[in-house]
């Protein structure tokens, strides 16, 4: 009996020690990174396109570039996230400023959210922002032959879509500067769906169609579930358009956000086409991670290293 008591006491003490060690381990710093304009020149908000015939609905973008130097610099057109239904360019201000300090001109456009216009409106707006960037390359010290896209979540989808559809005219839309190319030379995708018919994505849209509150994916697709219009979902998938004109891409995921699963089919097709791609995993990171202190600097470093390799 005495030996049993001793065993139980040792077991309880071991569990308590293990619990104490777990509780004392440092937790990731999820505090938001604040804007920092040190070494950065901000151009403020500028109109880059109109989306109606009467030119009453205009879209604007923010530009951040190195405060010193003559360039020309590579540019990054950055798409914020928010389920295609929320968000604003200011969400990417800290990341754009940090990358500007690394020697990039960062362009952060708004795009029409699903409550205003569903797919492909956001794609048209993204293409227009790239065209504006190339059109104004000299003015903002941009090398027009070195333009990349970057985005997180819904913005990651848009970034991957831009990179997969170089030269496909039907996605250009009716925005400004149609005489200029919207082609990009590299892309960064953070947690962005590349296949709108993949397991989990399609099911989510179907479930949203059955409830009053709906779903962000369903709204982006015009309120129609894939069971009623699978072709529309295929058309909205970067995977569908991935071809020889696609460009090198970096994919970044948080460890706690279904890492790699969004890109399984996409990577297979990239390998078949011999298109370079890389992957970076942010340890213990949630969705989204890119403006949280714990993972902010690693994200900046991963993007900088990749783009310096592919936008020489």
Phi, psi of 254 (to 5 degrees): -85, 145
Separation CA 89–CA 76 (nearest Å): 13
**pLDDT for residue 277:** 98
- 96 closest CA partner among 257, 310, 304: 304
Contacts of 17 (CB under 8 A, 6+ apart): none
**pLDDT for residue 26:** 83
**pLDDT for residue 256:** 95
**pLDDT for residue 19:** 44
Phi, psi of 279 (to 5 degrees): -135, 135
- 10-residue mean pLDDT profile of the chain (312 residues): values are 44 43 73 97 95 93 96 97 96 98 98 97 98 98 98 98 97 96 98 95 93 93 96 98 97 96 96 98 95 97 98 87
Confidence (pTM):
0.91
Listed by start position, the domains of the chain span 29-195+242-310, 196-236
Classified by CATH at the fold level, domain 29-195+242-310 comes out as: Rossmann fold (3.40.50)
**pLDDT for residue 44:** 85
**Residue 64: strand pairing partners:** 42, 106
Cis-peptide into 7, omega within 30 deg:
no
Separation CA 312–CA 308 (nearest Å): 6
Task: Give the three-state DSSP class for 310.
Answer: helix
Separation CA 35–CA 29 (nearest Å): 17
Separation CA 95–CA 261 (nearest Å): 25
> End-to-end CA distance of the chain, in Å?
74
**Which burial class, exposed, middle or buried, applies to 274 when counting CB atoms under 10 A from its CB (0-12, 13-18, 19+)?**
exposed
Separation CA 140–CA 105 (nearest Å): 8
Separation CA 27–CA 187 (nearest Å): 31
**pLDDT for residue 24:** 60
**pLDDT for residue 10:** 43
CB atoms within 10 A of CB 168: 13
**pLDDT for residue 4:** 42
**pLDDT for residue 53:** 87
């Amino acid at each position: 009996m005495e030996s049993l008591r001793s065993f139980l006491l040792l077991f309880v003490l071991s569990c308590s020690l293990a619990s104490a060690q777990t509780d004392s381990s440092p937790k990731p710093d999820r505090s938001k990174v604040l804007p920092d304009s040190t070494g950065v020149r901000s151009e403020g908000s500028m109109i880059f396109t109109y989306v109606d015939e009467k030119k009453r609905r205009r879209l604007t973008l923010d530009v951040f570039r190195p405060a010193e130097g003559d360039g020309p610099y590579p540019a990054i057109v950055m798409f914020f996230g928010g389920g295609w239904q929320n968000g604003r360019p200011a969400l990417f201000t800290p990341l754009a400023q940090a990358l500007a300090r690394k020697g990039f001109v960062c362009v952060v456009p708004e795009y029409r959210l699903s409550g205003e216009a569903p797919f492909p409106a956001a794609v048209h707006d993204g293409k227009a922002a790239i065209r504006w960037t190339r059109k104004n390359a000299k003015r903002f010290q941009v090398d027009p032959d070195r333009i990349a896209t970057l985005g997180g979540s819904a913005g990651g989808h848009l970034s991957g879509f831009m990179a997969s559809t170089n030269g496909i005219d039907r996605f250009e839309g009716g925005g400004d500067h149609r005489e200029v190319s919207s082609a990009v030379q590299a892309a960064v995708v953070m947690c962005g769906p590349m296949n709108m018919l993949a397991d989990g994505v399609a099911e989510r849209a179907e479930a949203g169609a059955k409830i009053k509150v709906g779903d962000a994916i369903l709204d982006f697709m015009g309120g129609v579930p894939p069971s009623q219009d699978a072709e529309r979902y295929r058309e909205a998938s970067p995977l569908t358009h991935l071809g020889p004109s696609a460009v090198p891409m970096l994919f970044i995921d948080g460890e706690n956000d279904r890492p790699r699963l969004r890109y399984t089919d996409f990577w297979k097709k990239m390998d078949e086409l011999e298109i370079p791609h890389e992957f970076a995993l942010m340890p213990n990171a949630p969705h989204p991670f890119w403006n949280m202190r714990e993972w902010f600097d690693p994200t900046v470093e991963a993007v900088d290293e990749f783009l310096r390799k592919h936008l020489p």
